[in-house]
Structure 1
């Protein structure tokens, strides 16, 4: 574990834990649980870490193992510190410190003091942090704990850097790096290299910064080799900042093309490795190879599309690269507004175009936070903005009021959701994401643009972004998205490998809905019926020359065996976002229960899809929020990623709860257009334009996005 081979450590510790439990070795059980918790903490799997550490703590307290109790309290404190719960972290570290001092455990005392320093640092109490860290450093040096010494030195460097003493900070980082290299602590070495790189970047020494950051990335990437998929993602999340800093360092030196390579290197890395394993039966134990600039240009040519890569390098700065089908690369940088975060803009952009009515038929006026509404007996000509909704009570404000001033009204007082104000968020997003590159985009509306978003930009409704003339982006361009440029290339290869023998279609609509409990303690509820989804399935099945599975026939038991045998899979049912099995992959598709009587019987989870090997060239999830999930540097962790990992090159998912009737129209039109030209991207665009004529509100047509192959 200390050498960085985390997966081996986990496998060994689980065996050790099992043996300890079998022979009732309680101290051994506590130790295994403790080290497992520490390992998951390093991997960024914090909930799992907390579970193991709490079990270890309980056993240590029961058997009176004071050193074990102190260690568990200390690591638990570190975990809560990373999660931002600083007061809880401080309380746990102080308990640990007290025990270590009582039993004369000097190393435990040093560790607790160091962690207390970190817990005080993050809320900005730098001087108090330095006091604790210096005490920790002194003890570590006295007892010869080199690892503890390196950690304290690095943490002191961070604290002094925050106080503006860059020279002192760099000196501490250098000392920490030297010790880590001497004792072969790979993760500590990478952390010190990253800290040095950042310090030299902000000091304006870009060449030195680049050297340190590249060395740090190489080590971080070597630590991911052999990990399970979810741990590759979680450990990467803890290290993602180094890729942002290196991109900024390269751009500062006008190396914008090399910065693109780094942006691509941080995108969907774990998914890329999964797809490569699937395409090549020989597993590669070496560090993964990343696409060069020439390969990125070749992929744009192969796709015959304009690729647009976004990278959020800080809260103030967005980088955009545009790669044309000829291979020409252009770079633009965008200063982000400071009064509103991009995340808020994306959330508001969605909130302003949808009512939260997950594929149902009601026309009830149900506002969501961010909507602008009119009230009955209104005394004002301007609309009200919905700030918050709690138990059918709205918190409202007028734009002309001072910030923070609100009133409360019952939700039943809303008579209209105003559209005119809604467009501001979509126009703001257009201004930030499209306007800076508008001159580089193709003029022909049939030429494809493939957006490679980053983090919250995966939730941007690109088709609905609006220019200053009120034109939606989908009216001017044919649009797709992808997790990364390399994923595009790999899904293209995957499509070429699909067996010709698989040609049929599987169409599912409005299954008899399962009874679902989304989380512990919640009352199980049956999901609502979707009559238009059934009509949709019948019409689409007719177009695809197959029989639809609907109602009680659409059971999970009936559908799962058919999935690998279908060339096209269309699922018109509810999609859910929750992580039902607690395995770290949120999302599920509602199918008819098989009659076991169990809660959640009938749910096909993202985790189950992830394990499948599918032969479909297209999967359409005509359901609510199927494109959402947990947002990471690997893209959106949920249903869409699971399907790509299962071998599907093209997927259509929705970004929000879609109204039932317009969706049925849009989907039927999509397959009619697909039948004519066999181009999924063009077919989806035409279906959106057709639907827009009858249902002009973007909530009715803009939710769907095509991921992957056109």
Structure 2
């Protein structure tokens, strides 16, 4: 995606992604950002409801309606279609900028940053986060601050910067507790649990997730609840608690399916696949794989279809059915070529080669 909008630069510091390998520098940069800025993001409430604000000009109202529609479309594409989310968000941003709606721009930058992260476009994600932070400071929106802090923490966590990520999410939790924002507390506790799990303290992570679920259920945040249940399943799986692993993933899958939350539904299926395969429940694993592939086809998502083929190949390989495994590896390789993902193609080819070397 080469299309980018140019906006007047805010008087803020940059998040230095290029210096990610230097945690102390990043922490100093973040502390400076915290002083200068207060972040923005959309919560679980309908985003068009958050953005609605009466305008005197009929042209302005028309622009707002169009922008709100584009942003809603971007949200709908957020589960698996990051490129389409970006297109919709960029178009919405142009309209929001033309009518001078800073808060709407902040909400859009938040969604845009998530989409860029999904595509691995870190520079563009950093730019969107920086602009959202600047707008959040201007609007002085505490809830938005909490959610953007969580997004930034997740961003650094994905880069392996645990110290920086921990500081940021702890600040988010403190703000949420200070203003008694239940939704923010649930999100912050869940992300703090994710960080704790990454550090290997699964028992503490489980407690944090369980506390997060209390808040998420109070607000009726179904997507947030499913996400936390998936995180909880991951922690139980890592700690060897099979029964609670299955229970958590099944709960997440049911909630996600009911709410058509495809991202969490796929996550739950993958978690259950790992759990069932580990204990030799192959029949159940194959049932789940059939569901996974059907879901990928329904979404017309080639990458998820590729993942399904790879999972089929690995499961058949584990059972010693190498010919069928080879068939699925080859189908996955074809999709990798279609997606022009040479790295994935090489990895799949290596797995296929090693399988027959060990046969």
Q: Same fold (TM over 0.5)?
A: yes
User: Aligned pair 1:252/2:318, yes or no?
Assistant: yes
Query: Cα distance, 1:219 vs. partner?
Result: 3.1
User: Aligned pair 1:134/2:210, yes or no?
Assistant: yes
User: Aligned pair 1:320/2:344, yes or no?
Assistant: no
**Does 1 or 2 have the higher relative contact order (CA < 8 Å, sep 6+)?**
2
> Following the alignment from structure 1 to structure 2, what is the Cα–Cα distance between the partners of residues 11 and 220?
22
Instruction: Write out per-residue CA displacement over residues 567-619 of structure 1, whole angstroms, 9 at most, x where no aligned residue.
Output: xxxxxxxxxxxxxxxxxxxxxxxxxxxxxxxxxxxxxxxxxxxxxxxxxxxxx
> Following the alignment from structure 1 to structure 2, what is the Cα–Cα distance between the partners of residues 165 and 242?
25
Instruction: Write out per-residue CA displacement over residues 15-74 of structure 1, whole angstroms, 9 at most, x where no aligned residue.
Output: 111122222221111111111112233444444323212220122123322222221111
2:112 to 33, 36, 45: 36
- What is the TM-score normalised by the length of structure 2? 0.69
Structure 1, unpaired ranges of 5+: 226-231, 275-308, 322-330, 335-435, 437-710
Residue in 1 aligned with 2:39?
none
Q: Residues 288-303 of structure 1: matches in 2 within 5 Å? A: none
Instruction: Write out per-residue CA displacement over residues 536-576 of structure 1, whole angstroms, 9 at most, x where no aligned residue.
Output: xxxxxxxxxxxxxxxxxxxxxxxxxxxxxxxxxxxxxxxxx
> Following the alignment from structure 1 to structure 2, what is the Cα–Cα distance between the partners of residues 261 and 78?
37
Quickly say closer, same or farther: Cα 1:45–1:220, change in 2 above 3 A. Answer: farther
Query: Cα distance, 1:267 vs. partner?
Result: 2.5
The answer to which of 57-66 and 120-129 deviates more is: 57-66
User: Aligned pair 1:166/2:242, yes or no?
Assistant: yes
* SS, match of residue 353 in structure 2: strand
Q: Residues 4-153 of structure 1: matches in 2 within 5 Å? A: 4=79, 5-153=81-229
CA contact (8 A) 2:152 2:165 kept: yes
Query: Cα distance, 1:162 vs. partner?
Result: 0.8
CA contact (8 A) 1:154 1:173 kept: yes
Quickly say closer, same or farther: Cα 1:83–1:224, change in 2 above 3 A. Answer: farther
Q: Residues 304-703 of structure 1: matches in 2 within 5 Å? A: 311=348, 318-320=351-353, 332-334=356-358
* SS, match of residue 104 in structure 2: helix
* SS, match of residue 267 in structure 1: helix
CA contact (8 A) 1:191 1:216 kept: no
User: Aligned pair 1:264/2:340, yes or no?
Assistant: no
Quickly say closer, same or farther: Cα 1:149–1:103, change in 2 above 3 A. Answer: same
Residue in 2 aligned with 1:187?
263
> Following the alignment from structure 1 to structure 2, what is the Cα–Cα distance between the partners of residues 266 and 332?
17
CA contact (8 A) 1:146 1:179 kept: yes
Query: Cα distance, 1:136 vs. partner?
Result: 0.7
Quickly say closer, same or farther: Cα 1:258–1:63, change in 2 above 3 A. Answer: same
What is the aligned-residue RMSD (CA, Å)?
2.9
> Following the alignment from structure 1 to structure 2, what is the Cα–Cα distance between the partners of residues 211 and 90?
39
Residue in 1 aligned with 2:277?
201
Name the larger-Rg structure.
Answer: 1
CA contact (8 A) 1:50 1:76 kept: no
Quickly say closer, same or farther: Cα 1:167–1:69, change in 2 above 3 A. Answer: same
CA contact (8 A) 1:210 1:250 kept: no
Structure with greater strand share of residues: 1
* SS, match of residue 320 in structure 1: helix
> Following the alignment from structure 1 to structure 2, what is the Cα–Cα distance between the partners of residues 99 and 33?
21
Quickly say closer, same or farther: Cα 1:126–1:15, change in 2 above 3 A. Answer: same
Query: Cα distance, 1:213 vs. partner?
Result: 3.0
Instruction: Write out per-residue CA displacement over residues 448-492 of structure 1, whole angstroms, 9 at most, x where no aligned residue.
Output: xxxxxxxxxxxxxxxxxxxxxxxxxxxxxxxxxxxxxxxxxxxxx
Query: Cα distance, 1:257 vs. partner?
Result: 2.3
CA contact (8 A) 1:157 1:173 kept: yes
Structure with greater helix share of residues: 2
Quickly say closer, same or farther: Cα 1:160–1:70, change in 2 above 3 A. Answer: same
Query: Cα distance, 1:217 vs. partner?
Result: 4.2
Structure 2, unpaired ranges of 5+: 1-74, 341-345
- What is the TM-score normalised by the length of structure 1? 0.37
Query: Cα distance, 1:248 vs. partner?
Result: 2.3
> Following the alignment from structure 1 to structure 2, what is the Cα–Cα distance between the partners of residues 122 and 217?
29
* SS, match of residue 333 in structure 2: coil
> Following the alignment from structure 1 to structure 2, what is the Cα–Cα distance between the partners of residues 239 and 93?
34
> Following the alignment from structure 1 to structure 2, what is the Cα–Cα distance between the partners of residues 79 and 240?
25
Residue in 2 aligned with 1:529?
none
Q: What is the count of residue pairs matched by the alignment?
A: 279
